[in-house]
Amino acid sequence: MNILRADNYDQLSKIAASKIIEKVRANPKATIGLATGSTPIGVYKLLIEDHKTNGTTYKQVSTVNLDEYIGISRDDPNSYHYFMREQLFNHIDIPLEQTYIPNGMAEDFLLECTRFESVIHELGGVDVQLLGIGQNGHIGFNEPGTSFKSRTHVVTLAESTRKANSRFFPSLDDVPTHAITMGIATIMDSKEIILLASGASKAKAIARLVHGEVDEDFPASALKLHKNVTIIADIAALQLV
């Protein structure tokens, strides 16, 4: 794993955005894996800015997202569909039909998981996958204990994850209990992975990722088995490394 140290969140966002822009310029038909949450918002802002100023085009790009809550419609402001449109898709020239996010309102979730895996397969795999990290080491919504062999599946969200995400909801009770997520094996199939971490709240997780064992109790540790992973983290997130 390659570690890039950023002075602060803005610099972290710049480094990550320039890597993605470079990828899209080199391969205008690239498939980019995206994440939601607070951490990638700065990256998305810079992709929009670059699209508007320098004309980088996403007309032929496809995107796949890591996860979606179950039981929240795509037009609900708390859905990851809504988040992605607001934070990125509505502001660049990507056709929405080339953006793929698991459907949290599917009638048959097993079928939806298989469908999502086929989408990624038909796109030829993910060229570069952006990841955040949970304080408990989750990637996507793969909570501690998830098999490294897992593919897209339905998960019960850990209480700590629901609490962390409750900042976006009126109350903890409103946070969904289940989600659909790419599995760890699905994430590991990506040709390249960029993991972002910002702030002191991620310091323990980053230290464990860098120095700890490969262990299913710490999902992000699977990344140690991947050949092309870059961690981009700011000083606060790297303070225990």
Residues 6+ apart with CB under 8 A from 241: 3, 206, 207, 210, 211
Q: Which is nearer to ligand F6R, 66 or 229 (CB)?
A: 66
Residue ranges that bind ligand F6R, judged by CB under 6 A: 35-39, 66-67, 132-134, 138-141
Q: Which is nearer to ligand F6R, 57 or 189 (CB)?
A: 189
Q: Which is nearer to ligand F6R, 60 or 82 (CB)?
A: 82
Least distance between ligand F6R and beta carbon 43 (Å): 11
Q: What tokens appear for 99 in the block? A: 């953006």
Picking from 241, 214, 237, the residue whose alpha carbon sits closest to that of residue 9 is: 237
Name residue 32's beta-bridge partners.
Answer: 63, 128
Q: Which is nearer to ligand F6R, 17 or 139 (CB)?
A: 139
Q: Which is nearer to ligand F6R, 39 or 103 (CB)?
A: 39
Cα gap 187→10, rounded to integer Å: 26
Least distance between ligand F6R and beta carbon 71 (Å): 17
Q: What tokens appear for 169 in the block? A: 């909801």
Amino acid type, 203: A
Least distance between ligand F6R and beta carbon 53 (Å): 26
Active-site residue (options: 67, 68, 127, 234): 67
Picking from 219, 209, 73, 87, the residue whose alpha carbon sits closest to that of residue 140 is: 219
Active-site residue (options: 65, 103, 136, 142): 136
Question: CA angle 118-119-125, nearest 5°?
Answer: 95
Least distance between ligand F6R and beta carbon 38 (Å): 4
Q: Which helix (H) or strand (E) holds 100?
A: strand 99-100
Residue nearest to ligand F6R (CB): 132
Least distance between ligand F6R and beta carbon 129 (Å): 11
The reply to whether 143 belongs to the active site is yes
- Paired sense of beta strands 178-181 and 153-156, if any: antiparallel
Q: What tokens appear for 79 in the block? A: 């859905």
Q: What tokens appear for 63 in the block? A: 């995107």
- Paired sense of beta strands 192-197 and 128-131, if any: parallel
Cα 152–chain centre separation: 14
The reply to whether 138 belongs to the active site is yes
The reply to whether 67 belongs to the active site is yes
| Catalytic site positions | 67, 136, 138, 143
